[in-house]
Amino acid sequence: MPKYMNWRNFWIFWLGGIAVFLFNVLTSGPLMTDVAPTGILDHQSAATATRVDAIQQSWAAAGQMNYAAWSMATDLVFIGLYTIGGILGGRLLWQEAQSPSLKKLGLFLVVTYFLFGLFDYVETLSQITQVLQEKGSDTLAGIAAFARPPKIATWIIGTVGMVAALIWRHRERRA
């Protein structure tokens, strides 16, 4: 097994991703406007250039366009850390677990985290492109809105699955 495939690196990446995610949530207030009461979340689900333009105009009026770009850039960092951490953890479970069921869960987590990273990168890159261009795009808004539901599903499944797998692994190792 490669040297980087270890539990220490899993914890660094996975918890690092969670820390960046919490930072983004806690600092999202400046992007919440009357037009976009949930800030970035409204931008993710906008689905049309007209809606994206309205949201971005509200951010520009509040002097927050640079903040929006910065916030989306930190989201890209979160996606990378959390995805790598989840894939590392799933692969370690798959390779090291004693129980065949836990091994299968590990493989399932590898696939789930890969899909999460794919969908979230597609969504966020579609968003940040519109922010940097300061113009909505029906194509990019549609892509972001399309990627959002599977991103959310894989994020929930991956997070709950990883926590359950870590508890299972802990109990398996104690037995």
Tens of pLDDT, residue by residue over 65-114, are 999 999 999 999 999 999 999 999 999 999 999 999 999 999 999 999 99
**Where residue 3 falls among pLDDT bands split at 50, 70, 90?**
confident
User: What global pTM score does this model have?
Assistant: 0.95
Residue 1 has pLDDT above 80, yes or no: no
Residue 5 has a pLDDT of: 86
Q: Are 14 and 82 in contact (CB under 8 A)?
A: yes
Closest CA to 164 of 108, 95, 88: 108
Helices then strands (H, E): number in the chain? 6, 0
d(CA 105, CA 6): 18
Mean pLDDT over 5-9 rounds to: 94
Count of other CB atoms within 10 angstroms of residue 8: 9
Task: Tokens 């539901």: give the residue.
Answer: 149
pLDDT tens profile 39-70 = 999 999 999 999 999 999 999 999 999 999 99
